[in-house]
């Protein structure tokens, strides 16, 4: 654990509200692995987390933000990596101090619309107000930042469009704007911290490894699982997480009410799997279900939930929408479905019963994993931070 008084790090990564430790999720994984990769390239890294970490680590410091004043954070280094959820007053102050800002813009205002804190608003106007405020903050970060992290080379086009329409580029940027857009895969990982070992399935479990959204109807998934379990009795479908949504309550009510042994979901008072327990579940499972609707977000970016399928080389069943559906079809990573019960049933059966297809999908996922290592993309970010 580093000291808040230290001021000579090469770079500070601000994890915002995302925990770093056994209960980390989403962007927490991203910033933990990014810190690892930057350290492996010789940089001295401070990772500022919202609370103390219980991870054992070497080579970089995880600072407890709750014990730091704004000035402590500002003084840690001359370069900062941050995301949309960061405090705009802090970032403007860092900018005013003449320090380098790297805006990790893979977390967009559109994705924030899926957050539980936003869904808890009762009035749709409150959600719109929050969204528009988030867009204004995003545009402000575009304006003050020196560099931008994007998830894929294709997302550079989206970022350039944002900067042009926001009036944030001019003639002088014509020759250098592409050098300020740095690709860092959404589903990326650190080579020195990736899971090792045997990823061959030890069971026929299919996992839902993400949040539960009120706009999505989960009944077709459960109906399809019931059908599959009649053909493959030892197949189980596991929702890994719970949250406060109506969707969660509806799924739990049905699982308990119908005593569905083929579907599991954490009870309200049940301890959720921590980082290490979750890794065992991911390594042992047969595959993942990553469905979505025709939302703005699915057209814009790949979901971070894909990261775990990539790391553990697992086939996936996905909806025939957006970026993810196109990627799965192009690279043959699993089965693309139309979200009907029949299509979901056939997709899951393919994963759990067809050994040849399973082997092909897993091998293709292993090949894709090589493309997503942060270490293959880190050099431009190192140059942005060090100026060398």
Measured between alpha carbons, how far is 137 from 156 in angstroms, rounded to an integer? 19
Instruction: Please name each of the domains of the chain with its CATH number.
Output: 11-190+374-386 (3.40.50.2000), 195-372 (3.40.50.2000)
Q: How confident is the model at residue 1 (pLDDT cuts 50, 70, 90)?
A: low
Other CB atoms within 10 A of residue 225 CB: 22
Average per-residue pLDDT in the chain? 90
Task: Look up the pTM and report it.
Answer: 0.91
Pairing of strands 11-14, 79-82: parallel
- Token representation of residue 350: 């393919």
What is the per-residue pLDDT across 200-244, written as a single tens digit (0 to 9) for each?
A: 889 999 999 888 877 778 899 999 999 999 999 999 999 988 877
What is the per-residue pLDDT across 85-127, written as a single tens digit (0 to 9) for each?
A: 999 999 999 999 999 999 999 888 887 777 777 777 878 898 8
| Separation in Å, CA 20 to CA 34, 91, 375 | 12, 21, 20
What is the per-residue pLDDT across 321-365, written as a single tens digit (0 to 9) for each?
A: 888 999 999 999 999 999 899 999 999 999 999 999 999 999 999
Pairing of strands 79-82, 147-150: unpaired
- Is the pLDDT score of 5 beyond 80? no
Q: Can you tell me the mean pLDDT for 18-41?
A: 92
Give the helix ranges, DSSP H, for the chain.
27-40, 70-74, 88-96, 109-112, 116-119, 124-144, 155-165, 219-231, 246-257, 275-284, 296-300, 306-311, 322-331, 341-353, 355-372, 379-386
DSSP letter for 373, please.
B
- Is the pLDDT score of 2 beyond 70? no
């Amino acid at each position: 654990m580093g000291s808040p008084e230290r001021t000579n790090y090469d770079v500070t990564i601000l994890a915002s509200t995302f925990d770093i430790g056994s209960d980390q999720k989403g962007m927490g994984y991203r910033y933990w692995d990014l810190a690892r990769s930057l350290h492996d390239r010789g940089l001295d890294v401070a990772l500022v987390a919202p609370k103390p970490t219980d991870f054992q680590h070497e080579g970089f410091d995880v600072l407890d933000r709750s014990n730091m004043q704004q000035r402590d954070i500002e003084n840690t280094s001359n370069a900062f990596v941050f995301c949309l959820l960061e405090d705009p007053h802090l970032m403007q102050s860092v900018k005013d101090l003449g320090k380098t800002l790297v805006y990790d813009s893979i977390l967009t205002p559109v994705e924030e619309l899926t957050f539980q804190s936003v869904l808890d608003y009762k009035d749709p106007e409150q959600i719109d107000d929050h969204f528009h405020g988030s867009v204004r903050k995003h545009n402000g970060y575009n304006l003050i930042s020196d560099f931008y992290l994007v998830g894929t080379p294709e997302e550079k086009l989206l970022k350039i469009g944002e900067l042009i329409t926001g009036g944030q580029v001019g003639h002088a940027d014509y020759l250098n704007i592409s050098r300020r857009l740095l690709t860092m895969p959404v589903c990326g990982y650190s080579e020195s911290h990736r899971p090792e070992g045997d990823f061959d399935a030890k069971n026929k479990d299919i996992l839902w490894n993400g949040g539960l959204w009120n706009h999505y109807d989960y009944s077709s998934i459960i109906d399809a699982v019931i059908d599959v379990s009649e053909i493959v009795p030892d197949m189980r479908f596991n929702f890994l997480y719970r949250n406060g949504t109506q969707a969660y309550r509806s799924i739990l009510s049905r699982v308990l009410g119908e005593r569905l042994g083929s579907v599991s979901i954490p009870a309200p008072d049940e301890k959720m799997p921590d980082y290490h327990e979750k890794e065992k579940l991911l390594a042992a499972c047969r595959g993942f279900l990553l469905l979505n609707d025709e939302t703005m977000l699915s057209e814009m970016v790949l979901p971070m939930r894909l990261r775990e399928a990539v790391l553990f080389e697992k086939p996936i069943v996905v909806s025939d929408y957006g970026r993810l559906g196109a990627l799965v079809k192009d690279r043959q990573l699993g089965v693309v479905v139309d979200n009907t019960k029949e299509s979901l049933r056939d997709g899951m059966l393919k994963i759990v019963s067809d050994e040849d297809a399973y082997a092909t999908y897993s091998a293709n996922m292993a090949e894709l994993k090589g493309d997503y290592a942060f270490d293959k993309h880190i050099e431009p970010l190192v140059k942005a931070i060090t100026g060398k």
